[in-house]
Amino acid sequence: MTVPAAAQQHQEQRAVQAAATAAAVRAVWGTVDPENLEASWLAHTPMAAELIRAGQLAAATTADTWLTGEAGPGEGTVSAEAAAAATGDLTGPLLYPLLIALNRLRRGFSTTMSILSGAAFLEMVTRSLVADAGRIADMAGMIARPRVVSYVRVVHLPACARCIILAGREYSLSDGFLRHPRCDCTLAPRRPGDTWELASPASLYGQMTDAQQRRAFGEAGMNAINEGADIAQVVNARRGMTTVTRYRREVQATTEGTTRRGLYGSRAKKFQKAAGVRFGEGIAARSRTKTPRLMPEEIYRLADDDREHAIRLLKRNGYIV
């Protein structure tokens, strides 16, 4: 059999949650004043932050229920708040759409196109933040269940080539989850004695239409695969994938024209001054931590496969309550 249906359904539900949250946040962006982008967005960022955190909490909250059905109860309950907080502060992700729009305007793009560019980035980063919170909760919940010994990557079509070639691959609980912006892949727990087969890239490729294959791999790549080339040789598995745990670094690495210190620094100070106090009244501020929180996979690695010690560290870092 393939990856359990429950894992596939879990993945689909997460994707729906990420899409719904992104649509709501994009609608907030759509209310900005084209004549006064900066001030109007600063006035709306607290609402956007609340929506993102709510989406993250909704995604992370499903981890325990799903994992209990798959692998039984864990040593405590996964904290959705801790999973959301581990994705990082929202200042950067909410500031970058503004910087992108302003950068486009300076380069001569129309106001409409500039605002659309910011909206596209905001939608992408929102989807990624929601998916990351869910995956962090899943990983913490798996480590808290001694019956789970590893995890498998669950890929649901349509998907990009980078994810397809990793479909069904099995990883240690100490391995970070490779993902790219807007990646909606999830994890399936694997226990000793599980007999289900791992979904392979070839099987997913065979389920794709010609149009999907062409979009994911390109015309030349599709032709090469159809002629017998190995999918993993056609696609570079590491290109565009990352295990960076601080989301702001990932954003800076993938955003054109918004990483100049002077521009970012000045806007960030203004952003925090104008919106930070209002953040303090909502979910975003309650989710912040003063010291870095170890990711669940890093905790498991540091515990050197000692499950009891890993669970203690999960509790100490707030993932399990």
Condensed to tens digits (0 to 9), the pLDDT of residues 135-182 reads 999 999 999 999 999 998 888 888 888 889 888 888 999 888 888 877
What's the confidence (pLDDT) of residue 54? 97
Among left, alpha and beta (phi > 0; psi -120 to 50; other), residue 228 is left
Looking at residue 25, its amino acid is V
Task: Please state, in angstroms and rounded to a whole number, the distance separating the CA atoms of residues 176 and 298.
Answer: 8
Backbone phi, then psi, for 287, in 5-degree steps? -85, -15
What's the confidence (pLDDT) of residue 137? 96
Domains of the chain, by residue range, sit at 5-316
- Any alpha helices (H) in 30-77, and if so which ranges? 37-71
Which residue stretches of the chain have pLDDT < 50?
Answer: 1, 237-238, 244-264, 277-290
What's the confidence (pLDDT) of residue 242? 63
Backbone phi, then psi, for 98, in 5-degree steps? -65, -45
Q: b/e map of 199-216 (b: 16 or more CB within 10 Å)?
A: bbbeebbeebeeebbeeb
What's the confidence (pLDDT) of residue 241? 67
Identify which of 70, 201, 87, 169 has the alpha carbon closest to the alpha carbon of residue 135.
87
pTM of the model: 0.80
